[in-house]
Amino acid sequence: MLYEDKKRFDFDNSQSMSDDEYRTLTSLSKSQFDDLIGRLSQSNILNSSNRPIRTAIAILLCKLRL
């Protein structure tokens, strides 16, 4: 049996989800999310060993939508 190692919500790869999925999960379009990450990448937020900036911000935005 083969195991496909693909994350369903992979924010690190912007091609893995559609624009509608980005909007549903974060309330931002894919381009708005990329712009936000670009701006935050210039700040003091750093990638951690557990989670890159894109994933951390996506988790925050998803939790804010709850």
Nearest alpha-carbon partner for 60 in 41, 30, 33, 39: 33
pLDDT of residue 15: 86
Question: Tokens representing 41?
Answer: 């990448």
The answer to whether 66 touches 50, Cβ cutoff 8 Å, is: no
pLDDT tops 80 at residue 57: yes
The band of 47, judged by pLDDT with boundaries at 50, 70 and 90, is confident
The answer to whether 32 touches 39, Cβ cutoff 8 Å, is: no
Higher pLDDT, 4 or 36: 36
- Condensed to tens digits (0 to 9), the pLDDT of residues 7-45 reads 578 888 888 899 999 999 999 999 999 999 999 988 888
Burial class (CB in 10 A: 0-12, 13-18, 19+), 40: middle
